[in-house]
Chain A
């Protein structure tokens, strides 16, 4: 395995699992994972087992967030495995991967085999000062891969000699904001992704690498899926995989990756007036995207063997 001078700022869920799976398949081993363990249960917002001693509580909360955040990947892989697993094989193939990458999506939350060091922190969101304190104590310079969604507080971005990289599921600056996968399919006819250094804005940081990506294949059962299930399927597997594929391609294209190599790479600033920011897509427009995806899949099926 090649050492990767990158710390994963890990927010549990399919995105984290995709990064870990793809990096492992491509032979990269991140130097560290900082796993943020939600001290509140995302299902209802109440603290997880506050009566437990802190180490036990962290362990329990890790399991709770794993169950919450990776539910749909396991549900599709298990209960709907008869159509989902063959599709995952084709999905991985489309992006030059082995289907074993999806094992990482459903495995228990044990990350030691993915990184040189794993720090698990019980935190209450990104604004928690315990997180800032921990990051402040990391060796410098530090480059973090942010695997969550939304905005990172300015206090974290301002930490000295620390930079955050994020992979957005859309080609920047054209498609910023939420549901980037769906807006990309609707507006550009193909998915895309962009790695960038995060700044205080929403997907406005300097661009490291961006690309349009091949349209994903669809499962045989696609037309029979309820729209909300189709949405969950895309966000359980496709959206995270595309981000990870982009990250892998970018890293593979870099010449040398010695210590601190990812901290000061040349990056293209985004113009102030460039691009569009989109918000979560209404279910009606989502259905149009799903129909379009089916047509694109049908067209691709004429040339790509299933």
Chain B
């Protein structure tokens, strides 16, 4: 899979868990990061850190791919896992904020995926998972950037599509 260094993606402000600058094509996640950072769920706190990261290193990208797989094939993303993200340590699923963060992170990965035409598959795979993550957030949302995120996904879906 081509690397997705996301080097031009959001840079945190001085309070890294309060504000995340947006990237063209990405809506502002607003206070999402701060709320997740204060969550009791380890997975939600990890998502806050990923949201705040200016770029994902190989390890972070690998973990995000594991979350992508859970959104794609598992009935739920649990609030806690073992270190390898294989075994759930909780029966509870992450909340709406967690799913919003996943959708946002997947979209960021889709937009930031480098590799030209060869990256079309990985881009669309990220985008596919972003749509699925957003589906797990009820509309209208209790809070958070669901609608702007949905619009951004729609735009990306058309923009990332390979030419016929």
Physical interaction between A and B: yes
Q: Write the residues of chain A forming the contact surface with B, with a CB cutoff of 8 angstroms.
A: 174-175, 183, 186-187, 189, 276, 278-282, 284-285, 288, 292, 295-296
* Cβ–Cβ contact A281 & B164, under 8 A: no
* Cβ–Cβ contact B125 & A288, under 8 A: no
Q: How far is the CA of A281 from the CA of B73 in the complex (A)?
A: 11
Q: How many A-B residue pairs have CB under 8 A?
A: 47
> Separation in Å of the A119 CB from the closest CB of chain B?
32
Q: B67 — which chain A residues lie within 8 A by C-beta?
A: none
Tell me the B117-158 residues at the A interface (CB within 8 Å). 120-122, 124-125, 127-129, 131-132, 135, 153-154, 157-158
Of the A-B pairs whose beta carbons lie under 8 Å apart in the complex, a sample of 15, sorted by A's number, is A174-B121, A175-B121, A183-B121, A186-B124, A186-B162, A276-B1, A276-B121, A276-B122, A276-B125, A278-B128, A279-B72, A282-B132, A282-B135, A284-B154, A296-B164
Answer whether residue B161 sits at the interface, using C-beta atoms and an 8 A cutoff. Answer: yes
Q: Name the residue on B nearest A281 (C-beta).
A: B128
Question: How many B residues have CB within 8 A of the partner chain?
Answer: 22
Most chain A beta-carbon contacts within 10 A, residue among B72, B120, B153, B158: B72
Q: B157 — which chain A residues lie within 8 A by C-beta?
A: 284-285, 288
> Separation in Å of the B110 CB from the closest CB of chain A?
12
* Cβ–Cβ contact A187 & B164, under 8 A: no
In the complex with contacts A278-B121, A279-B72, A189-B128 CB distance below 8 A? no
Most chain A beta-carbon contacts within 10 A, residue among B120, B121, B131: B121
Q: Write the residues of chain B forming the contact surface with A, with a CB cutoff of 8 angstroms.
A: 1, 69, 72-73, 120-122, 124-125, 127-129, 131-132, 135, 153-154, 157-158, 161-162, 164
> Separation in Å of the A175 CB from the closest CB of chain B?
8
Q: How far is the CA of A281 from the CA of B127 in the complex (A)?
A: 10
Q: How far is the CA of A227 from the CA of B101 in the complex (A)?
A: 28
In the complex with contacts A281-B128, A282-B132, A284-B157, A189-B121 CB distance below 8 A? no
Q: How far is the CA of A174 from the CA of B122 in the complex (A)?
A: 11
Q: A278 — which chain B residues lie within 8 A by C-beta?
A: 121, 125, 128
Q: A285 — which chain B residues lie within 8 A by C-beta?
A: 124, 127-128, 131, 157
Q: How far is the CA of A280 from the CA of B127 in the complex (A)?
A: 12
Q: How far is the CA of A111 from the CA of B128 in the complex (A)?
A: 39
Can you add 6 more A-B contacts, CB < 8 Å, to A187-B124, A284-B153, A285-B128? A183-B121, A279-B69, A279-B73, A279-B125, A281-B128, A292-B161
